[in-house]
Structure 1
Amino acid sequence: MEYFEDRKRAESFGEAAAAYDAYRPRYPSALITAIMQAADSGAEVPRILDVGSGTGILASQLKDAGGEVLAVEPDVEMAAVARTKGLEVEVSTFEDWDGQDRTFDLISFGQSFHWVDPLIALPRIRALLKPGGRLALAWNDIEPKGEVRTRLEAIAARFHPEGTRPSLGTAGAAETFETVEHPALAQLRATGFTACESSFTEDLHSSKHDWLSMVFTYSAQLTMDPVKRAVMREEMAAEIPADGLDAANAALLILARI
């Protein structure tokens, strides 16, 4: 099943809106700079549409970097958090959203492109972009470092033998598998876009509480049976050192143009 077809997971985030905003990571500053450079069309303030904006994590970073940002988000509770940041938010799925003949210098998806149907979304994006406009797809991909990663992955695999999240361009652990092309690139090429991908790596440290709080804002955990979810959290907590863990964020950015 494609992620966008799993509506239970796609619509699970509202119950965790506050935790999502508090514990999900922000995007690396270099990634934000790359998006804003792509959005530069000569206009004094680039117009940006941020789709599946959630609590406005990417949208607020782009706004702070100088963009005029309109956010589209289907969940009312997530949208409410985004509005507290001064963002203009329209509540709708992208597939049903009324664009009202507006056009944009750049359309962004932060951690959200896998929740839209590309057969519907990509033609809509083409129509919404100004001539020379760009599409930016961004994902944070945070993994623990060292032995704790192996132990936490083993726990996740027992609770989610079917897998937990979309690939961010690797077929498995970096030390075992070769890098593979992100599936969005083939979708983009098939609909007439030219695209390239870049990665932005940063080292992080997280407390035990913050790491677990982040992990349990993902849809795979939000849609679990509550008892199993509590057991999974307890098992993970037992494997994380008292002083937290070191992690790496290999953030991915795909930039595309028509």
Structure 2
Amino acid sequence: MPTLPPEPSLPPASRPHQHRRAAESFGSEAERYDRARPRYPDALVRRIVAGSPGPDLLDAGCGTGIAARQFQAVGCRVLGVEPDARMAARARHLGVEVDVATFEAWDPAGREFDALVSAQAWHWMDPVAAAAKAARVLRAGGSLAAFWNVFRLPPALAEAFAAAYLRVAPDAPFDVRAMTGALDGYRVLFAKAAGGIREAGGFSTPQEWRFDWEWTYTRDAWLGQMPTLGALTRLPPAAVDEVLARVGAAIDVMGGGFTMSYATVAVTATRTGTAMPEGTVPLI
């Protein structure tokens, strides 16, 4: 399994944790988000659980509890931390215990965990502060796993999405072409996560795991998921409708459906050594 190289210099546009309003915009579509967003590979869940010293798991940025429920299903005791009260309410409704807070500011109140996961959310957090908090709440030998479902749209759909989005939101902070360009557009996020883990200290060398899979979407299924994408959650309804119409037309040309290629990528590390006390600035 590959270890990750040191973090490259990141341009400002590649620092999504600085866009807190965008990070906390998903609650406007909480029910749709939970219904439409894809789940995570069972092989990833099993691998994280197999490497954990016990069943107590923390889900940082748990959203509506999609990943949390997958870990509950294999016997984990899960606590979620989620900054958006609307997303947290949905997770609680579906059986997940949740504290409402940003992860960096969350008070663990002395609680410790055997594993910490973050599904599709770590990039919304400060990479060093979040890793330092993870080191403080993980038991020795505990595992940290931040992971993302990275999709690759067929070229015709990627072009339709990018063209429509740039038409309605030319000044938005999202690089939509990177979002639709598979792993290359996400490499900077993986490197940033690994760099934060290194800088925070208390962890083994970060590693990258990858799981490839496919999913077939009907036109309605994909258009139902699109409003939950971070690039769209803060657009006016008319702008979202225009993007959906253009993408829907492209799917119609393809016969009304398509197969999406996914890669689920996890940045992982094991808790070792001594974590920094609260408020300590790491030496670089």
User: Which residue of structure 2 lines up, in the alignment, with residue 176 of structure 1?
Assistant: none
Distance in 2 (alpha carbons) for counterparts of 1:132 and 1:224: 43
Q: Find the residue that maps to 2:232 and give its secondary structure.
A: helix
User: Which residue of structure 2 lines up, in the alignment, with residue 256 of structure 1?
Assistant: 269
Deviation for aligned residue 1:146: 5.2
Normalising by the residue count of structure 2, what TM-score does the alignment of the two structures yield? 0.80
Deviation for aligned residue 1:53: 0.3
User: Which residue of structure 2 lines up, in the alignment, with residue 56 of structure 1?
Assistant: 65
Q: Find the residue that maps to 1:25 and give its secondary structure.
A: coil
Q: Find the residue that maps to 1:182 and give its secondary structure.
A: helix
Matches within 5 A, 1:1-258: 1=12, 2-39=15-52, 41=53, 43=54, 46-145=55-154, 147-159=156-168, 162-164=173-175, 170-172=183-185, 182-192=191-201, 193=203, 194-241=205-252, 242-258=255-271
Number of positions where the alignment pairs a residue of Structure 1 with one of Structure 2: 249
Distance in 2 (alpha carbons) for counterparts of 1:121 and 1:146: 35
Deviation for aligned residue 1:99: 0.4
The amino acid that maps onto 2:83 is: P
The amino acid that maps onto 1:112 is: A
Normalising by the residue count of structure 1, what TM-score does the alignment of the two structures yield? 0.88
Shift of the 182–118 alpha-carbon distance from structure 1 to 2, 3 Å rule, reads closer
Distance in 1 (alpha carbons) for counterparts of 2:68 and 2:242: 34
Q: Find the residue that maps to 1:171 and give its secondary structure.
A: helix
Q: Find the residue that maps to 2:184 and give its secondary structure.
A: coil
CA contact (8 A) 2:150 2:182 kept: no
Q: Find the residue that maps to 1:205 and give its secondary structure.
A: strand
Distance in 2 (alpha carbons) for counterparts of 1:164 and 1:9: 14
CA contact (8 A) 2:161 2:243 kept: no
Deviation for aligned residue 1:144: 2.4
Deviation for aligned residue 1:248: 0.9
Shift of the 153–114 alpha-carbon distance from structure 1 to 2, 3 Å rule, reads same
Distance in 1 (alpha carbons) for counterparts of 2:102 and 2:155: 39
Distance in 1 (alpha carbons) for counterparts of 2:175 and 2:49: 31
Deviation for aligned residue 1:169: 8.3
Aligned Cα root-mean-square deviation (Å): 2.3
Distance in 2 (alpha carbons) for counterparts of 1:28 and 1:54: 18
CA contact (8 A) 1:169 1:182 kept: no
Distance in 1 (alpha carbons) for counterparts of 2:162 and 2:182: 18
What percentage of residue pairs aligned between the two structures are identical? 35
CA contact (8 A) 2:60 2:118 kept: yes
Superimposed CA distance per residue, residues 187-215 of structure 1 (whole angstroms, 9 cap, x where no aligned partner):
22222332100111111101111111212
